[in-house]
Amino acid sequence: MSETLRVENVSAGYGQTQVLWNVSLVVEPGEIVALVGSNGAGKSTLLGAISGIVHVFEGRVVYGDRDLTNEPPDRIVSAGIVQVPQGRRLFTSLTVRENLLMGAYLRTDDEVDADLERILTLLPRLRERFDYLAGRLSGGEQQMVAIARALMARPKVLLIDEMSLGLAPVLVDQLLDILREINARGVAILMVEQDVQTALEFSSRAYVLETGRMITTGPSHVLLDDVAVKRAYLGV
């Protein structure tokens, strides 16, 4: 079976508080898919449900032939699904090098150093900052570290939560170019993004989440021209 990520009629939330209702989503191998919606729509909650950090009340999260519903996060990472969290969540008192190696903490193979070299070639700024404390980097550099740390886990599906938050447009463009290269190397991407235009221009397909329910889906270029989407999310 192909390594397709499927969210099947998932309802999820925190404690007794339900945030998502019967949400379904598919990410095929090698795709770039956007999940968009206003602040508080439940986008980050859905990524958390996929990643095993938010409890799924009903429904399933399936990757290939594996049911990962409510599996521990480390098992989901080992399966190939890795999240770049909102706010980066770096170990600010550790160096860039130490942060990247933390991304490989589950690995037992002997190619960690080779992967580290490949990632530094992809992100040369991090080579220049290799021995800097992560907390002393700029916002854009910290986001690069967060992406690189996720890559050290060898993801097959990369979940990216609000990458553009707090960054200048020129930095966002640089990071999107990096993500395109990562995708070209075979990594599927599911991007959660409040900047709807950026997300739709970057992705091939998109889902729109509103107050915990999936309200529409389709090719990104079609949603960009959708009158209701323009009015609700693009200010047009």
Q: Which amino acid is at 66?
A: R
Q: 9 with 23: CB under 8 angstroms?
A: yes
Kindly tell me the burial class for residue 152, based on how many C-beta atoms sit within 10 Å of its own C-beta (0-12, 13-18, 19 or more): buried
Class at the top of the CATH hierarchy for domain 5-80+155-234: alpha beta
Across all residues in the chain, what is the average pLDDT? Answer: 93
Paired residues of 62 in beta bridges: 6, 67
Instruction: Please give the Cα distance from 228 to 19 (Å, whole number).
Output: 23
Q: What mean pLDDT do residues 26-33 have?
A: 97
Q: Which of 75, 67, 65, 25 is nearest to 45 (CA)?
A: 25
How does pLDDT run across 191-230, given as a tens digit for each residue?
998 889 999 999 999 999 999 999 999 999 999 999 888 8
In the predicted structure, residue 103 carries a pLDDT above the cut 70? yes
Alpha carbon distances (Å) from 211 to 20, 63, 89: 8, 25, 26
Q: Tell which wins on pLDDT, 63 or 86.
A: 63
pTM across the whole model: 0.93
83: its two tokens: 């999240």
Instruction: Please give the Cα distance from 63 to 51 (Å, whole number).
Output: 11
CB count within 10 Å of CB 148 equals 23
Q: Is the dihedral of CA 29, 178, 98, 162 positive or negative?
A: negative
CB count within 10 Å of CB 17 equals 6
Q: Tell which wins on pLDDT, 55 or 88.
A: 55
Question: What is the per-residue pLDDT for 2?
Answer: 74
In the predicted structure, residue 1 carries a pLDDT above the cut 70? no
Paired residues of 27 in beta bridges: 5
Model confidence at 165, pLDDT cuts 50, 70, 90, reads: confident
Residues, the chain: 236
Question: What is the per-residue pLDDT for 71?
Answer: 97
Model confidence at 144, pLDDT cuts 50, 70, 90, reads: very high
- Please report, for the chain, the start and end positions of each structural domain, with discontinuous segments joined by +: 5-80+155-234, 95-154
Question: What is the per-residue pLDDT for 15?
Answer: 92
Question: What is the per-residue pLDDT for 236?
Answer: 56
Phi-psi region of 207 (alpha: psi -120 to 50; beta: other; left: phi over 0): beta
Determine the Cα angle at 181 with ends 175 and 187, to 5°: 105
Question: What is the per-residue pLDDT for 107?
Answer: 81
Paired residues of 12 in beta bridges: 20, 56
Q: What mean pLDDT do residues 71-100 have?
A: 92
How does pLDDT run across 115-127, given as a tens digit for each residue?
999 999 999 999 9
